[in-house]
Amino acid sequence: MYVEKSKVESIQKISENIFLIKVLAPSIASLVKPGQFCNIKVSENSFPLLRRPFSICDVEGDYLFFLFDIHGEGTKLISKKKPGEFLELLGPLGKGFNYNDGYDTAVIVAGGLGVAPFPLLSKNLSANKKVISLLGGRSKKNIVTYGLKNVLAATDDGSEGFHGTVVELLKREIKNISKDNFRIFACGPTPMLKALQKYCVENNYDCQISVECAMACGFGICQGCPIDPVNGDSYLLVCKDGPVFDAKSIKL
Amino acid sequence: MADLSINIAGLRFKNPVLLASGTVGYGNEIAEFTDLNKLGGIVTKSLSLKPRKGNPPPRITETPSGMLNAIGLANVGVESFIKDKIPFLKKLDTTLICNIAASTIEEYVECTRILTHEESIHAFEINVSCPNVREGGLEFGNDLNAVGRITEKVKAVTKKPIFIKLSPNVSRISDFAKLVKENGGDGVSAINTLVGTAFDIYTRKPKIKNVTGGLSGPAIKPVALAKILEIKRNVDIPIIGIGGIMDWKDAVEIMIVGASAFQIGTVNFINPNAGVEIVDGLKTYCEQNSIQNISELTGSYQI
């Protein structure tokens, strides 16, 4: 783990409210595993006070990529960063996806900006693995396909792809996939993850989910991000024990 | 070269920079980012006799220049602390203060009685002011008699210095400091967090599950300074200052109003190396201002 003052290389607007930022962070880039995150200080003063957690979206050499939308003061400030300005990154944090062995087809299930960790995962999957990426969003403009392979979309308003939720799309597609030995990798809003978790547990599907939670430090000292395990009396921490968990192991 | 070391109740600290309870866990996580041996001391996460699960999420939210937390004293309990956490802590070359939280006076006494045998623990901080646990902490912190009794009974089972961590959520904090002194306490830590809350205007729900939480961060620094000054002007007792310290300038300010040492908390979440940076900043400040010993700063206000 490093604290790294990182120069902004570029900010690319991907859609109306979604941006991809590229920053130079060689120390962190050398360690990143798919599914890990950075806790980012977006300003040099006390506003906002706390860091903000962001999934690491992609890595190219010494550069890291983060995908974000503007939904608060912190993300608004990041969106205004210019090339040459700095962000202070702390990372890589958390445990990433377990993606190396034990399956043939990777099924990515993402809701909205939940696509963020998957470009790196897709890139790092070994060549002999099949990938299918199921993306859900409210509307066409919420579907971000950056860095993803073999994409099928689901939208709430039917403006792109399947008309319905991404979990419903998965239920439809699973017939085509289920003859293979597959593993589901998921990230998205909690209601989506809950629906997915229920479906996967009922059908005994192998599923790893990346959850989101407000946190202060990102490395286990503030105790601000507890999550209830299925087994055990004490909470786990999203930052340190996650953010990726086996769908069977936690209560959402 | 200025001398940054300080002495409180016969206990030497290599400098006045301490990490506050609940913001450094048991030391091991933050050690990846900073050299704990350069700090004056560490105050460990509040311990209770038995493990505590803590409050359900959401536990924290950011507010203007601050944060609210309601962790609920989640901790591993005394037994696991001794077995699993002390082995790391005892290797550190810094002063170790063990913070204790409890639901009854007997529990404070029992925790202290067990832990006083641990050689690596140099002193105790008694938390009578956690705002987030119904049956412990703040109810004592609001009760002058209880604070006096806890001080006396805990002091009776240990020869090590005890510091009582006071609540700012009282009308006269100096009355509490006075009782700590009268009952044999070695010092006070001031202040704990301020009770606050925040609501989502669309869902109309509180932003933390516990509804109220403890406010910390730069937002509370002026309150901390006023409370410390009040104690300093009314009671002759060492004060460990706490409240919104973000850098060495805040640290100098809190010493000027009366603190012998101070603790940093919320800043550790943002900059885990802040303590070491503050030590360096204090060195430079002392040298530039011809201060031989940093303890000259304590209570040096010109009013």
Q: What is the pLDDT of residues B157-215, one digit of tens each?
A: 999 999 999 999 999 999 999 999 999 999 999 999 999 999 999 999 999 999 999 99
Q: Which residues from B are below 8 Å from A222, CB to CB?
A: 23, 60, 69, 71, 269
Amino acid A180: pLDDT: 72
Write out the two tokens for B194: 């301020």
Residues of chain A above pLDDT 70, percent = 100
Cβ atoms of A133 and A123 within 8 Å: the answer is no
pLDDT at residue B269 is higher than 80:
yes
Amino acid B13: pLDDT: 98
- Mean pLDDT of the B74-86 span: 94
The fold of the A105-210 domain, in CATH, is Rossmann fold (3.40.50)
**How far is Cα B195 from Cα B214, in angstroms, rounded to an integer?**
5
The pLDDT tens digits for A152-177 are: 999 999 999 999 999 999 999 998 88
Cβ atoms of B28 and B88 within 8 Å: the answer is yes
Write out the two tokens for B197: 């809350």
Closest Cα partner for A224 from B279, B110, B216, B252? B216
pLDDT at residue A139 is higher than 60:
yes
Chain A residues within 8 A (CB-CB) of chain B?
1, 3, 41, 46-51, 90, 213-217, 219-228, 233-235, 240
Q: Do A235 and B266 touch (CB under 8 A)?
A: no
Contacts of B183 (CB under 8 A, 6+ apart): B148, B149, B151, B152, B155
Amino acid B103: pLDDT: 87
Amino acid B133: pLDDT: 62
Q: Which CATH number does the domain A2-93 belong to among 2.40.30.10, 3.30.70.3340, 3.50.50.60, 2.40.160.20?
A: 2.40.30.10
Higher pLDDT, B138 or B63: B63
Q: Which residues from B are below 8 Å from A216, CB to CB?
A: 60, 67, 69, 266, 269-270
Amino acid A178: pLDDT: 72
pLDDT at residue B29 is higher than 70:
yes
- Mean pLDDT of the A18-27 span: 96
- Mean pLDDT of the B42-47 span: 95
Closest residue in chain B to residue A212, using alpha carbons only: B58
Q: Do A222 and B60 touch (CB under 8 A)?
A: yes
**How far is Cα B110 from Cα B117, in angstroms, rounded to an integer?**
12
Tell me the pLDDT band of A149, cut-offs 50, 70 and 90: very high
Q: Where in chain A is CATH 3.40.50.80?
A: 105-210
Tell me the pLDDT band of B284, cut-offs 50, 70 and 90: very high
The pLDDT tens digits for B101-155 are: 998 899 999 999 999 999 999 999 999 876 666 555 556 778 899 999 999 999 9
Amino acid A72: pLDDT: 85
**How far is Cα B277 from Cα B294, in angstroms, rounded to an integer?**
16
The fold of the B6-54+71-194+216-297 domain, in CATH, is TIM Barrel (3.20.20)
- pTM, to two decimals: 0.95
The pLDDT tens digits for B202-238 are: 999 999 999 999 999 999 999 999 999 999 999 999 9
Strands across the sheet with A244-246, in order? A162-163, A151-155, A130-137, A105-111, A182-187, A207-210, A244-246
The pLDDT tens digits for A74-124 are: 899 999 999 999 999 999 999 999 998 889 999 999 999 999 999 999 999
Amino acid B143: pLDDT: 87
Q: Where in chain A is CATH 2.40.30.10?
A: 2-93
The H or E element containing residue A121 is helix A118-124
Indicate which residues of B carry an active-site annotation: 130
